[in-house]
Amino acid sequence: MNTIKTISVGLALVLAATSCEDFFDRTPKDEFATTSFFASETDLQLYANGLIEAAMPSVSNLTLGEDAYTDFCGTKQSKTFYSDTYTASTASGWSYSNWSFLRRCVYMLDNMHNAKGKVSDEIYNHYEGVARFWRAYATFNKVKDFGDTYWIEKTIQPEDSTVLYAPRDDREYVMHMVAEDLKFAVDNCLTDGTGINSNGRIYINKYVALAFASRLCLYEGTYRKYHTANPSTGKPWTNEYETSEDFLKLARDYSKQLIGTGIFYLHNNYRELFVSTTLPADEVIWGRSFNDEYRHNLTYEFYSATAGQQYSPTKDFVHMFLETDGTPVASAEVSVTEEFNNRDARLAACVLAPGQTYTTMSGAIEEFAPNFTWTKTGYQWLKWCQTNEIAWSVSNDQSNNAIPIFRYAEVLLNYAEAVAELGEMNSQIWDETIGELRRRAGVTSIYPEDGGYVQDQWLRDYYTKDVKHSSELSDVILEIRRERATELFMENDSRYNDLMRWHLGDLIERRYNHQGWAGIWVTEEETRTGFIINGKRYMVGTNASTSDAGYKIVSSTSDRNFTFSEGDHGYVVYNYKMTWDDKMYTKPVPVTALNVNPDIGQNNGWQWN
C-alpha cells in the first residue's frame, strides 16, 4: 500500500490526452510564491477563505441533491445513474476539476510552515485544523462515491512515476487517515472565528468540526456494520484500522462532546429553520446565509412545472409521521383532506396541508391550494419553499431563505443512533434525544421499551420485508430511522446516505410494489365527486375537465405514466422505471481514468468499459 499520495496523482491519472508534463505545467488558481506567502495570520485566513469559496456546496445540492431521487420523493424523470445505460464509459467524477480542491488543501498543509514563529501556536494549529477539516471533507465525498480512493498526503514532483501511477488506497486506510484529520481539527480549531458575512461565507471552527465528525463516523460505523464487504473489492473488511464499533464509539463521543458544550439547542419553530432569511443561531451550527442582494431560486425549482423535476413527496414519506399521541397511523388509505389531522407538526411544515396560506404578488393573504402541475404524487412540498408568490412566479433568484448545513437536531439523532447500535440506549438518552425532537413537533415521546409503546408493523415491513439485505432491527433502531426521515429528509443527502450505509439501496427501486412512487389516496367517492383542499375543488381522472384543477390519471406510455393502485381508485402511482444493483453502492471508475492508469482498478461489479 502506498501511504503517501498527492492531489497530482488523481489528476494525472484521468487526463488521457494530457501528458504528465502538461498537467504539472498548470498554475493553480490559489498558488502563490511559497517563500513569501503563508507568512502571517492574514495570509492563512485569506487562503482558508479561498477554500470555503471553492468547497461550498450549492443550494440545490444542500436541499434537493440525491434525496430528491430516493423512495420519499417522486420526480418526472430520474437520474441516469438509476438506469441500465449508466456505465464506466459514461461515468464522471475523476477529472482535473474533481481533484483540484484536494490539491488546494495539500498545498496549504505543505506550505503553511512559513508562518511558524510568525503566529502563535494556537493560531497556527487552528488553520492547520481548517485545512485538515477540508481534506477530510473532500476525501469523504470521494469515499462515498468510489469506495477505495487516494489518500492525498503531500505534493510530489511529476517525475515521480512510482506514485503517479499507483493503485488506489484501501478504503479502510483512507478512512483511518480521515479520522486522524478530523481529530486534529476537533482538538485544535478554535471555538470562535466563525460567522457569516454578507456573501454567505462560513468559517470553520471546533463546533463545525465536531458536527462533521459526528456525521462521518456514524456513516462509516454503520456502513461497515450493514455491509459485510468492501464494495470496491467485494472482499470482507480487514479491520486493520478502525472497526465498525470503533467508528460508532467515535460518533457517540463526538456527538456527546458537542451536546455537552451547551451552546446549541433546538429552535422552537421547525419550519423557520428552512424559510427564514437568517439562520437560527440556537440550532444551526453551520449554514449558508442569503439576503435581498444575494438570492437563489430554490422555491422556483420546487414550484415550476418545467424548471425543476416536479419534486413530489410520496405516501411512504407522509406515512412515516406519527400521530400526536406518539402512536403510528393506523392506515395509509386515508384521503389527503383528512390525513394531516392530529399528526406530527413537521408533516405540515414539509408538505402542503389544508389550512395553509401564501402571500400573493400584491401582498394579499390567500389560501394555498396545491398546484397539481407541480407534483407527480398529488402531494406538494413546503419544506424549503417560501410561501410568497414572487418566489415562484419569477425565475431569476427570488428566494432568500438561509440554508442550514449542520443542525443540532442531526447531532442528537447521530448520538441516539450510535448509542443504539452500540447497545447502550436507555430511557434517559432516548428522552434527551428523540424525545426532545418529538416534543418540539408536538408528539408524545414513548420509549419503545416502556409500556404504552405501539409497535408499527408497517415500519418494520418497510425496512425488512422484500428487502435484499434485511437485518434484525429493534424497535429502537426502527424508531430512530423514522425520526431521521421526518426530521432530516431533503437536507444534505441525508436519506440517500442513510440508505447507502444501511445497505438499503434497493428501496430506491422497490418503491410501491416496484411500480413507482405512490402518492395521495383517492377514495372511490372522490373519483366521482372530487375533493376540496384550501377552497379549490380537484376532479380526478376522466371526470377532470380543462376548467378543473384536475389531477390527470391516464396511461400514456409503458413508463412515466399514472395509475390507480386499486384500478379505479386508491393510491395515485406515478410509474417510472428505475434499476438497482448492489454494485451501485459505488460508482464506476471512468474509462478515461482507467485508460491512463489501469492500476486504479475498477469497482466490484462494474465493467471496465
> Rounded to the nearest 5 degrees, what angle is found at the Cα of 302, between the Cα atoms of 299 and 305?
120
Mean pLDDT score of the chain, rounded to an integer? 89
Distance (Å, whole) CA 436 – CA 443: 10
Q: Is residue 566 part of a domain?
A: yes
Per mean pLDDT, which range of 202-211, 381-390, 413-422, 477-486 is the poorest?
A: 202-211
Crossing angle of helices 171-188 and 121-146, in 10° steps, is: 150
**Per-residue model confidence (pLDDT) at position 469:** 87
> What letter represents residue 249's amino acid?
K
- Cell for 288? 449558508
**Per-residue model confidence (pLDDT) at position 549:** 62
**Per-residue model confidence (pLDDT) at position 22:** 37
Percentage above 70 pLDDT, the chain: 88
More confidently predicted of 26 and 496: 496
Query: Predicted confidence band at 528 (pLDDT cuts at 50, 70, 90)?
Result: confident
Range list of H helices, 443-552? 457-464, 475-488, 494-501, 507-510, 524-529
Per mean pLDDT, which range of 20-24, 402-406, 508-512, 528-532 is the poorest?
A: 20-24
Q: Is residue 546 part of a domain?
A: yes
Per mean pLDDT, which range of 143-152, 195-204, 294-303, 489-498 is the poorest?
A: 195-204
More confidently predicted of 158 and 313: 313
**Per-residue model confidence (pLDDT) at position 26:** 42
Query: Predicted confidence band at 35 (pLDDT cuts at 50, 70, 90)?
Result: low
> What letter represents residue 113's amino acid?
H
The answer on pLDDT for 580 being more than 90 is yes
Query: Predicted confidence band at 182 (pLDDT cuts at 50, 70, 90)?
Result: very high
Q: Which of 130, 151, 517 is nearest to 316 (CA)?
A: 517
Q: Is residue 555 part of a domain?
A: yes
Average pLDDT score over residue span 82-102? 90
> What letter represents residue 567's amino acid?
G
> Rounded to the nearest 5 degrees, what angle is found at the Cα of 377, between the Cα atoms of 373 and 381?
75
**Per-residue model confidence (pLDDT) at position 30:** 47
CB 280 within 8 A of CB 289: no
Percentage above 90 pLDDT, the chain: 72
> Rounded to the nearest 5 degrees, what angle is found at the Cα of 564, between the Cα atoms of 559 and 566?
130
- Cell for 383? 419544506
Please give the helix or strand (H or E) that residue 390 lies within, else none. helix 390-393
Tell me how many domains the chain contains.
Answer: 1
Distance (Å, whole) CA 76 – CA 516: 11
Question: What is the span of the domain harbouring residue 563?
Answer: 516-575
* Residue 394 neighbours by CB under 8 Å, 6+ apart: 300
Neighbours of 117 (CB within 10 A): 10
Q: Is residue 558 part of a domain?
A: yes
Distance (Å, whole) CA 395 – CA 68: 20
Q: pLDDT tens across 390-445, in order?
A: 999 877 789 999 999 999 999 999 999 999 999 999 999 999 999 999 999 999 99
Q: pLDDT tens across 115-130, in order?
A: 999 999 999 999 999 9
Q: Which of 408, 416, 412, 371 is nearest to 389 (CA)?
A: 371
Average pLDDT score over residue span 373-400? 90
Distance (Å, whole) CA 163 – CA 159: 9
More confidently predicted of 452 and 249: 249
Q: Is residue 543 part of a domain?
A: yes
Per mean pLDDT, which range of 88-102, 494-508, 584-598 is the poorest?
A: 88-102
More confidently predicted of 293 and 105: 105
Distance (Å, whole) CA 579 – CA 506: 8
Q: pLDDT tens across 255-310, in order?
A: 999 999 999 999 999 999 999 999 999 999 999 888 888 889 999 999 998 888 99
pTM over 0.75: yes
Buried b (16+ CB within 10 A) or exposed e, 90-116: ebebbeeebbbbbbbbbbbbebbebbe
**Per-residue model confidence (pLDDT) at position 207:** 95
Average pLDDT score over residue span 9-34? 40
Query: Predicted confidence band at 131 (pLDDT cuts at 50, 70, 90)?
Result: very high
- 223, exposed or middle or buried, with CB in 10 Å at 0-12, 13-18, 19+? buried
CB 283 within 8 A of CB 265: yes
CB 277 within 8 A of CB 299: no
The answer on pLDDT for 162 being more than 90 is no
Distance (Å, whole) CA 417 – CA 103: 34
Q: Is residue 541 part of a domain?
A: yes
Query: Predicted confidence band at 24 (pLDDT cuts at 50, 70, 90)?
Result: very low
